Amino acid sequence: MRKSFLFFLMIIASISVYSQKHVNLDNVEIPAKIKGRTERVIVHKGYTVSYNADWKIPNWVAYELTDEEVAGEEPRGKKFIPDPMVPKYESATTEDYKNSGWDRGHMAPAADMKWHPQAMKESFYLSNICPQNRNLNAGAWKELEEQVRDLAAQKGYIYVVCGPIVSADYQTIGENQVVIPQAFFKVLLQEENGEIYTIGFVYENVAGRRPMSTYAMSVDEVEELTGIDFFPSLPDKIEKRAEAEVDFTKWTVKLREK
């Protein structure tokens, strides 16, 4: 009888370990609904966007990036256009950015969408674009985008959420009053040997370039800055641990220190 009971306990323990190592990551990149903020959630082929009609920019853009997608060969698009799923009166236009002194900065980078013509086209929708400092767009932010692709290529897949951080005293550009973000965030999630790891980055929307590690922080800290609940579909215990810690040894592609 005792042996039967011990065998039963061993079965229960093995089921518990198995369940921890098989967390359902379907749509894990989609944040929770943001309290007190306008958002229209739109699902495109390559990414999902929470669009803010008051700001004329996204609240967040989220997607999974795989090693196969990183290896895509679709040519880079050239034409920025309004998102057809955003009503015209809620959208920015390319004229808003013209002569503004600000780049049309992708949140989901075009280089992450080169695996399909439609995904590439949609990356140029203005719902995926924010006014971004030119030096940041071509420098430190681009370096982070490249780092994410390196990680996806090595890990097999990685989950990405990025977007603007808007201050209370924000400024705007253009006739449609497109909001200029104070900063940008990017949070990443990966699974390694059944464990979940996350990391966050925040870059001020200004010129300058520092070592990438100096922009890094925990996802909990990014949540505090943005008011966004990331990875809400994770089991609570896993989410709490993963979002509180930043362990660079688990991100085996060396962080570029340029």
Closest Cα to residue 129, out of 210, 52, 18, 193? 52
CA distance 124 to 108: 9
Residue 238 CB neighbour total at 10 angstroms: 14
Catalytic residue list contains 106: yes
243: part of which helix (H) or strand (E)? Answer: helix 236-244
Around Cβ 212, how many Cβ atoms within 10 Å? 18
* SS3 per residue for 7-64: HHHHHHHHHHHHHHCCCCCCCCCCCCCCCCCCCEEEECCCCEEEEECCCCEEEEEEEE
DSSP label at residue 105? E
List the beta bridge partners of residue 196: 191
Q: 160-198 burial by CB neighbour count: b if 16+ within 10 A, else e?
A: bbbbbbbeeeeeebbeeebbbbbbbbbbbbbbeeeebbb
How far from each other are the two terminal CA atoms of the chain, in whole angstroms? 65
Give catalytic residue positions.
Answer: 106
